[in-house]
Structure 1
Amino acid sequence: MARGLNGSTNGGGHWPLPGQEHVVAQTPGSDGTNLPPPVRAALPAVVGVRTTIPADRRTARTLGTEREGHGILLDDEGLVVTIGYLIMEADTVTITDIDGRDLPAHIVGYDYESGFGLVRTDVPMGHRPLRFGDSDSLMLRSEAYAAGLGGAKATLKIKVAGRREFAGYWEYLLDNAIFTVPAYPLWGGSALIGLDGDLLGVGSLLVPEALGPGAPAFPGNMYVPINRLKPIFHELVSTGRLSTPARPWLGVYTLEYMGQLVVSGIFDGGPADRAGLQRGDVLHALNDDVLDDLADLYRKLWSSGPAGTAVRLRMERDNDAFEVTVRTGDRADYHKFGTD
Structure 2
Amino acid sequence: MSHAVRIVHKRVQAMAGWSDPGLRGVRLALLACCLALSGLTAADDGRRTRPAFDEATTRALERAARATVGVRATAVDDARSVATLGRQREGSGVVIDADGLVLTIGYVVLEAEQVRIEVEPGREVPARVVAYDLATGFGLLRPLVPLRVEPAPLAGARAATDDALMVTTGGSDAVVGVARLMSQRPFSGYWEYHIEHALFTAPPLPRHSGAGLFNLKGELLGIGSLAVADTLPADDPRSTPGNMFVPVELLRPVLDELLARGTSAPSRRAWLGLNCVEQRGQVRVVRVSEDSPAEAGGVRVGDRIVRIDGADVSTLDTLWKALWTGGGPEREVRLEVRRGDDTHTLRLQSVDRQSTLRRARGI
- The bucket for the TM-score relative to the shorter chain is 0.7 to 0.9
Contact kept, 8 Å, 1:32 with 1:153, in 2: the verdict is no
2:190 to 161, 169, 174: 169
Contact kept, 8 Å, 1:78 with 1:122, in 2: the verdict is no
- Residue 185 of structure 1: how far off its partner (Å): 2.0
- Secondary structure in 2 aligned to 1:97? strand
Q: Which structure's CA Rg is the greater one?
A: 2
- Secondary structure in 1 aligned to 2:335? strand
**1:25 alignment partner in structure 2:** 16
Give the AA of the match of 1:46: T
**2:242 alignment partner in structure 1:** 220
**1:189 alignment partner in structure 2:** 210
Change in CA separation of 1:333 and 1:179 when aligned onto 2, cut-off 3 Å: same
Deviations for 1:56-77, whole angstroms, at most 9, x for unmatched residues? Answer: 2111121011110100112232
> How many residues matched?
316
How many angstroms apart in 2 are the aligned matches of 1:192 and 1:64?
25
Deviations for 1:154-195, whole angstroms, at most 9, x for unmatched residues? Answer: 111111000111100000001110001111222100011111
| Structure 1 unmatched runs, 5+ | 1-22
- Secondary structure in 1 aligned to 2:78? coil
- Secondary structure in 2 aligned to 1:32? helix
**2:304 alignment partner in structure 1:** 282
How many angstroms apart in 1 are the aligned matches of 2:116 and 2:346?
44
How many angstroms apart in 2 are the aligned matches of 1:58 and 1:95?
23
- Greater mean alpha carbon deviation, residues 298-307 or residues 106-115: 298-307
How many angstroms apart in 1 are the aligned matches of 2:157 and 2:122?
30
How many angstroms apart in 2 are the aligned matches of 1:245 and 1:111?
6
- Secondary structure in 2 aligned to 1:155? strand
Give the AA of the match of 1:170: W
Structure with the larger RCO, 1 or 2 (CA within 8 Å, 6+ apart): 1
- Residue 242 of structure 1: how far off its partner (Å): 2.3
- Greater mean alpha carbon deviation, residues 266-275 or residues 243-252: 243-252
**1:210 alignment partner in structure 2:** 231
Deviations for 1:101-128, whole angstroms, at most 9, x for unmatched residues? Answer: 1101111011101000011111011110
TM-score, structure 2 as length reference = 0.82
Are residue 109 (structure 1) and residue 131 (structure 2) matched? Answer: yes
Give the AA of the match of 2:105: I
Deviations for 1:66-109, whole angstroms, at most 9, x for unmatched residues? Answer: 11010011223221110000001110101000353110111101
Give the AA of the match of 1:207: V
- Secondary structure in 2 aligned to 1:292? coil
**2:48 alignment partner in structure 1:** none
2:76 to 38, 54, 75: 54
CA RMSD of aligned residues (A): 2.2
How do 1:1-340 residues align onto structure 2 when only pairs under 5 Å count? 25=16, 31-34=27-30, 35=32, 36-37=57-58, 38-98=60-120, 100-134=122-156, 136-138=158-160, 142-149=163-170, 154-213=175-234, 214-243=236-265, 246-338=268-360, 340=363
Change in CA separation of 1:113 and 1:261 when aligned onto 2, cut-off 3 Å: same
- Secondary structure in 2 aligned to 1:31? helix
Deviations for 1:315-338, whole angstroms, at most 9, x for unmatched residues? Answer: 111221110111111111111134
Higher helix share: 2
How many angstroms apart in 2 are the aligned matches of 1:278 and 1:24?
46
Contact kept, 8 Å, 1:209 with 1:218, in 2: the verdict is yes
- Residue 309 of structure 1: how far off its partner (Å): 2.1
Contact kept, 8 Å, 2:121 with 2:172, in 1: the verdict is no
- Secondary structure in 2 aligned to 1:91? strand
Change in CA separation of 1:110 and 1:169 when aligned onto 2, cut-off 3 Å: same
Percent of pairs with identical residues: 34
Contact kept, 8 Å, 2:118 with 2:171, in 1: the verdict is no
Contact kept, 8 Å, 1:138 with 1:160, in 2: the verdict is no
**1:9 alignment partner in structure 2:** none
**1:5 alignment partner in structure 2:** none
TM-score, structure 1 as length reference = 0.87
Contact kept, 8 Å, 1:255 with 1:294, in 2: the verdict is yes
- Greater mean alpha carbon deviation, residues 119-128 or residues 238-247: 238-247
How many angstroms apart in 2 are the aligned matches of 1:24 and 1:61?
35
Deviations for 1:212-249, whole angstroms, at most 9, x for unmatched residues? Answer: 44432221110000010001001111221224572111
- Secondary structure in 2 aligned to 1:137? coil
